[in-house]
A = this chain, B = another copy of it.
Amino acid sequence: MRTIHVKTESADYPVYVGSDFLPQLSRHLRKLSGDALPRLFILTSPEIWALWGEALLSGLPKEQHPSILFLPPGERYKRLAEVERLAGELAAAGADRSSVLIAFGGGIIGDVGGFLSAIYMRGIDYIQMPTTLLAQVDSSVGGKTGTNLSAGKNLIGSFHHPRAVFADVATLQTLPARELRAGLFESIKAGIIRDAKLFRFLERNAEAVLQRDMDALKYVIGASVRMKAEVVGIDERESGLRMILNFGHTIGHAIEAATGYRRLLHGEAIAWGMLAALQIALGRGTVTAQEADRITQTIHAYGPLRPFRSSAGLLLGAAGRDKKNRAGKRRFVLPQGIGDAVVVENVTDAEMRDAVEWTLAAARQSEQKTEARGR
């Protein structure tokens, strides 16, 4: 088991990375809350519960009868109307301020569960038990919770840190391969922006990682979480350093928005966004051609990158509406070599257009390759 401590201005909690949390859940929970377990409420998805619900219940004492709340899968349920329904179910089941919610599932379960905990009775404790790689390395750490609006993703939310995160790599064994790869792009991001050693590990061990070797996964997840914990510890509210976590996100988000959030998984869009940002970095010389090459090859090693179609106009428009823009300024994260990154505000319209057009061409090329393979 690896333990990473997240320490921010407003919170201090452990992230545990291991492979046996479910069957021993009550033992682990007692480490947090002492002998008397609180009343537990579990928010999960029907799929995850069907696969892992029994294992989780086996780890709780018989007298604990946690209430199970379900959220259907998909971004379209990441909405306030669902939060209201779930809050009503909590109230009906008698949840009070001392109750604890366990968010057991992927990123949407974590985001909605965290937000529900943030606003139910003005805040109750919650625990993250992420079951996707993306949630384990990224969304379960850092305290960002929330829902979408029609006008955009994650426009509603709170900073609300969990009491603890249990990242159980055993649950990754049932994760679809495409989702595993999409999550690994966030780990590659972690390596590029702040952890050259993690990047090298991912570069050299793609096969073991993709075959879900438990030790390889524990290392990758632990290192990714440690990177994020350090950054969030220094800059919880994203006034400075935390911005670097958005490497690949400006154009990645634009691609997600322009393709209606249906075509690509988040991590896949971020992979495209990182390649796009890399073009700008290469043009400015903040990475060498050799570094750019290593990054590109490593991203592709965890591919194939799913192609998409869009237009430069659509992507540039969507990037302009990105909520990371502050008072009209466009912030952009560029890698500086491998293992470091900077936030700049002077990316020009021409650089943006070139990067977007390069990405559209790369996506077209990838589509042709896919078709050629299909013949």
Contacts and interface: CB of A to CB of B under 8 A. Distances in A.
25 contacts: A10-B10, A79-B84, A80-B81, A80-B83, A80-B84, A81-B81, A84-B149, A84-B156, A87-B149, A88-B149, A88-B150, A91-B149, A91-B151, A96-B323, A96-B326, A96-B327, A97-B326, A98-B326, A98-B327, A119-B119, A119-B156, A119-B157, A121-B323, A123-B158, A123-B159
A118 interface: yes
Contacts of A155: 87, 91, 120-121
A79 B84 CA distance: 9
Contacts of A97: 323, 326
A162 to B, nearest CB: 16
A91 B153 CA distance: 11
Interface residues of A, number: 35
A372 interface: no
Nearest to A328: B96
The interface residues of chain A, by DSSP majority, are classed as mixed
A112 to B, nearest CB: 13
Contacts of A123: 158-159
A92 interface: yes
Interface in A86-107: 87-88, 91-92, 96-98
B96 A119 contact: no
Interface in A113-156: 115, 118-123, 144, 146, 149-152, 155-156
